[in-house]
Amino acid sequence: MSERQIVRVRDIMKTGFDTVDGMDTVESALEKMAHVETKCLVVNRRHEHDENGIVMISDIARKVLAKDRAADRINIYEIMSKPVISVDPDMDIRYCARLFTRHDLSRAPVVENREIVGIVSLTDMVIKGLGGR
């Protein structure tokens, strides 16, 4: 019987991600999302003792669009998730998938030494993790 190869989060994460300031409007975040074709933006920390946040397209759909709120009048800090659940780049993707399932996550930042080094999603885990074996 062969030993199962461990696929780490760092092997499948996307290292390219964009950030947004919590004071930015949803409208400006949407422009950035359309430009980079992404479904989430990392919200920058305000100072060294602060935590990162995340805003996803689903947050905008539920908290702005569905409530008929004006995207140019809502700030990111009003709809973002903070603190955000993050994962270690050396985590086995099987455990990462379990964490995502337990907390109903679709994506999360990958953090090493308090710095975000990438973003991982369930799609990445399934397509690159299982499909890449």
pLDDT digits (tens, 9 = 90+) for 6-29: 899 999 999 988 899 999 999 999
Look at residue 1 in the predicted model and tell me its pLDDT: 46
DSSP 12: H
User: Is 17 part of any domain?
Assistant: yes
User: Is 93 part of any domain?
Assistant: yes
Q: How many domains does the chain have?
A: 1
Residue 129 phi/psi, 5° resolution? -75, -55
pLDDT digits (tens, 9 = 90+) for 41-88: 999 999 989 999 999 999 999 999 999 999 999 999 999 999 999 999
User: Is 3 part of any domain?
Assistant: no
Q: Which residue carries 């659940």 as its tokens?
A: 85
Give the C-alpha distances (Å, rounded to integers) separating 104 from 57, 64, 71, 130, 131: 15, 21, 26, 20, 22
Q: How far apart are CA 110 and CA 18, in angstroms?
A: 13
Task: Give the range of the structural domain holding residue 107, as residue numbers without chain letter.
Answer: 9-130
Give this prediction's pTM. 0.84
User: Is 4 part of any domain?
Assistant: no
Whether 128 shows a pLDDT value over 90: the answer reads no
User: Is 97 part of any domain?
Assistant: yes
CATH code, 93: 3.10.580.10
